[in-house]
Structure 1
Amino acid sequence: MKRSSFSVLAVVILVALGAPASAQADSEDYTPSEHQTPTLAGSTAVGVCDKDAPWISFDVRLTDPDEQVTSDSASLILTDGTNTSTIPLGTLVDGRLAGRVLWPGAAVNAAGEATGWPGWAFQNGQWVEIDGNFAWTRGRITATIEVNPSVVVPLSYPPATPQCDANPPGSPAAASAALPATGLTAAVGPIAAVGASVVLAGLVLFLLRRRSARR
Structure 2
Amino acid sequence: MRKRTLKAFAGALVAAALVVAPLVTAGASAEDASAVWPADTVGVKGELVPWNEDTNHTDYWKQKYPDAVSCYSSDGDTDHGRITGGGKTVTLNEYSPSWPGDHWEVLVIKAGNLWNSVIENPDAGVAYASPPNNSGQQASVSHWIVCKGKTTVPELVTPTLTWTLPTCEAAGELFQGDGVKWVSTPGENGSTIWTATPAPGKAFPAGVTTQWTVPDLSKLVQGCGSNEPEQPDPLESESSKTTFDCATTTATITTTTTTTAYVWNAETKTWVLGEPTSSDVVTERPLTEAEIGANCPLVPGDIDSVCVGDVPYLGYELTLPEGFVADSETPVTITFVNPDGEDYVVENQPLSGELLWPGASATAPKMWPGWELVNGEYVETDGNYAWTRAGVTVRFEVNPSYSTEVQYPEASAECANPPIGGGTPASTDAEALAVTGGGVSPVIVAAGGAALLAGIAVVAIAAYRRRHASVQ
TM range (shorter): 0.5 to 0.7
Matches of 1:59 and 1:30, distance apart in 2: 37
2:312 aligned residue: 54
**Residue 154 of structure 1: SS of its match in structure 2?**
strand
Q: Which SS does the other structure have where 2:388 is aligned?
A: helix
Secondary structure of residue in 2 paired with 1:136:
helix
* Structure 1 residue 64: Cα displacement: 3.2
* Structure 1 residue identity aligned to 2:337: T
More helix by share: 1
2:345 alignment partner, one of 73, 86, 93? 86
| Inter-CA distance 86–171: structure 2 relative to 1 (3 Å threshold) | farther
What's the offset of the Cα at 1:87? Answer: 2.2
**Aligned amino acid, residue 415 of structure 2:** D
Structure 1 or 2: larger strand share? 2
Task: Work out whether residues 39 and 64 of structure 1, in 8 Å CA contact, stay in contact via their aligned partners in 2.
Answer: no
Which amino acid counterpart does residue 403 of structure 2 have in structure 1? V
User: Is 1:107 aligned to 2:358, yes or no?
Assistant: no
- CA 1:70 to 1:88, structure 2 compared with 1: closer, same or farther past 3 Å? closer
Cross-structure match for 1:137: 388
SS at match of 1:107: coil
Residues 43 and 89 of structure 1: CA distance in aligned 2, closer, same or farther (over 3 Å): farther
TM-score (norm. length: structure 2): 0.26
1:105·1:133 contact (CA, 8 Å) conserved in 2?
Answer: yes
RMSD (Å), alpha carbons:
3.0
Deviation at 1:89, TM superposition (A): 5.4
**Distance change (3 Å), C-alpha of 1:50 and 1:30:** closer
Q: For the residues of structure 2 that align with 1:66 and 1:129, how far apart are their CA atoms? A: 44
Q: Distance in 1 between matches of 2:410 and 2:421?
A: 13
Q: What amino acid sits opposite 2:285 in the alignment?
A: S
Q: Which residue is 1:150 aligned to?
A: 401
2:417 to 160, 163, 167: 167
Instruction: State the shift of 1:171 in Å.
Output: 4.0
Letter in 2 for 1:48: V
Mean CA deviation greater in 47-56 or 77-86: 77-86
- How far did residue 156 of structure 1 move? 1.3
The letter for the 2-side match of 1:33 is R
Partner of 1:191: none
The partner residue of 1:65 within 323, 329, 333 is: 323
2:285 is matched with 33
* Alpha-carbon offset, residue 80 of structure 1: 3.4
Q: Does 2:352 correspond to 1:98?
A: yes
One-letter code aligned to 1:143 = V
Deviation per CA, 1:182-208, whole angstroms, max 9, x where unpaired? xxxxxxxxxxxxxxxxxxxxxxxxxxx
Supply the distance in 2 between the matched residues of 1:156 and 1:133 (Cα, whole angstroms). 17
Q: Which residue of 1 aligns with 2:376?
A: 125
Contact 1:159 1:165 in 2 (8 A): yes
Q: Is the 8 A contact 1:143 1:155 kept in 2?
A: yes
Q: Which amino acid aligns with 2:296?
A: P
The one-letter amino acid of 1:52's match is: D
Q: Deviation at 1:75? A: 1.8
1:152, 1:114 → 2: CA distance?
32
On the 8 A contact 1:38/1:62 being kept in 2, the answer is: no
Whole-angstrom CA distance in 1 between matches of 2:400 and 2:365:
34
Q: How many angstroms does 1:78 deviate by?
A: 1.0
Deviation at 1:66, TM superposition (A): 5.7
Kindly state the Cα deviation for residue 85 of structure 1 after the two structures are TM-superposed: 0.9
The structure with higher relative contact order (CA 8 Å, sep 6+) is 1
Runs of 4+ in 1 over 3 A off after TM superposition: 28-32, 69-72
Specify every segment of 5 or more residues in structure 1 that has no aligned partner in the other structure, as ranges. 1-27, 92-96, 173-180, 182-215
Q: For 1:131 and 1:41, how far apart are their aligned partners in 2?
A: 34
Give the distance between the partners of 1:74 and 1:98, measured in 2 at CA: 9
Q: 2:310–2:416: 8 Å Cα contact kept in structure 1?
A: yes
Number of matched pairs? 137
Percent of residue pairs identical: 32
Distance 2:378 2:283 in 1: 67
